[in-house]
């Protein structure tokens, strides 16, 4: 019929009209036909076996479908018509009426509400996570280096997507070169502090440590100078005594 060799009416009574050419499950490589039809509210769909379509012309099926008030009545009328026409094969008929009973709209509404709730929950989690992260960053304090001195930073060391996660809060008068090398290296990486007061206290300890080290160094230098002066004085005294003793002789 597709090739134009026979007509649709001839196809209805063709000897091979009911030959099965493809069946699900008989061939693992079998390709099933896929197609779409446009339907709208008010349409009536009929799915049937050839026990109906071979016994009643398409026009008669359409007439019965249009005149039947409900899907069940249409199904009964089509089966009765096929049996009345001879009923030489089993008659299987499914009739579906597309109606707007509000269920589809309600289902779509429920799906939309669930999607909105899920999206809102996701956004709430993201916002909450952002707030917690922002609060954690803004509430964090660490000691670092800036322009050769110890500085107090708010935030955390590093950056995210090119944005710094810290900012300079204050600079001290403590120079890095006055601190031990290990402390300088730790400051370069950032030393976390519990609070701003803790950071100020740590800087005070650095300042006290530097003062003590400088005092010790000054005292050691003073002792060395005093020792050198005493040695020089002792040498001079000995030389004078030796000279005076020579004169006496």
Total number of domains in the chain: 3
Q: Which residues contact 140 (CB under 8 A, 6 or more apart)?
A: 154, 155, 156, 192
Kindly state whether residue 17 falls inside one of the protein's structural domains.
no
Domain contains 106: yes
In a domain? residue 92: yes
- Asked if residues 150 and 172 have their Cβ atoms less than 8 Å apart, the reply is yes
3-state secondary structure of 164: strand
Per-residue DSSP letter, 66: H
What pLDDT sits at residue 249? 38
Q: Is residue 225 part of a domain?
A: yes
* Residue 208 forms part of a structural domain: yes
Rounded Cα distance between 135 and 129, Å, is 10
- Where in the sequence is the domain holding 157, given as residue range(s)? 140-232
79 and 118 assigned to the same domain: no
Query: Is residue 132 located within the same domain as residue 157?
Result: no
- Within a domain: 9: no
Note whether 223 and 152 are same-domain residues: yes
User: Residue 192: inside a domain, yes or no?
Assistant: yes
Query: Where do the DSSP E strands lie in the chain?
Result: 44-48, 93-97, 141-146, 149-160, 163-175, 191-193
The pTM of the whole model exceeds 0.85: no
Kindly list the averaged pLDDT for each block of 10 residues, start to end, along the chain of length 249.
88 82 80 87 92 90 94 96 90 92 80 93 92 84 92 88 86 90 91 91 91 85 75 62 49
128 and 86 within one domain:
no
Instruction: Give the number of residues written for the chain.
Output: 249
The Cα diameter of the chain in Å comes to: 169
């Amino acid at each position: 019929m597709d090739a134009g060799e026979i007509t649709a009416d001839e196809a209805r009574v063709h000897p091979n009209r009911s030959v099965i050419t493809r069946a699900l499950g008989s061939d693992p490589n079998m390709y099933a036909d896929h197609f779409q039809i446009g339907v709208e509210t008010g349409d009536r769909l009929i799915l049937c076996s050839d026990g109906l379509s071979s016994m009643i012309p398409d026009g008669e099926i359409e007439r019965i479908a249009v005149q039947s008030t409900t899907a069940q009545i249409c199904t009964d009328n089509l089966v009765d018509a096929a049996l009345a026409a001879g009923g030489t094969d089993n008659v299987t008929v499914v009739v579906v009426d597309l109606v707007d009973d509000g269920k589809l709209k309600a289902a779509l509404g429920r799906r939309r509400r669930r999607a909105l709730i899920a999206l809102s929950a996701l956004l709430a989690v993201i916002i909450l996570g952002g707030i917690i992260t922002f609060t954690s960053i803004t509430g964090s304090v660490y000691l670092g280096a800036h322009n050769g001195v110890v500085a107090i930073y708010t935030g955390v060391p590093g950056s995210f997507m090119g944005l710094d996660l810290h900012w300079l809060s204050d600079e001290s008068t403590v120079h890095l070169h006055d601190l031990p090398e290990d402390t300088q290296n730790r400051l370069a990486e950032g030393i976390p502090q519990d609070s701003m007061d803790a950071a100020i206290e740590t800087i005070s300890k650095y300042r006290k440590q530097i003062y003590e080290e400088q005092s010790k160094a000054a005292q050691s230098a003073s002792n060395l100078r005093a020792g050198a002066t005493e040695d020089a004085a002792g040498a001079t005294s000995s030389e004078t005594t030796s000279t005076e003793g020579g004169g006496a002789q």
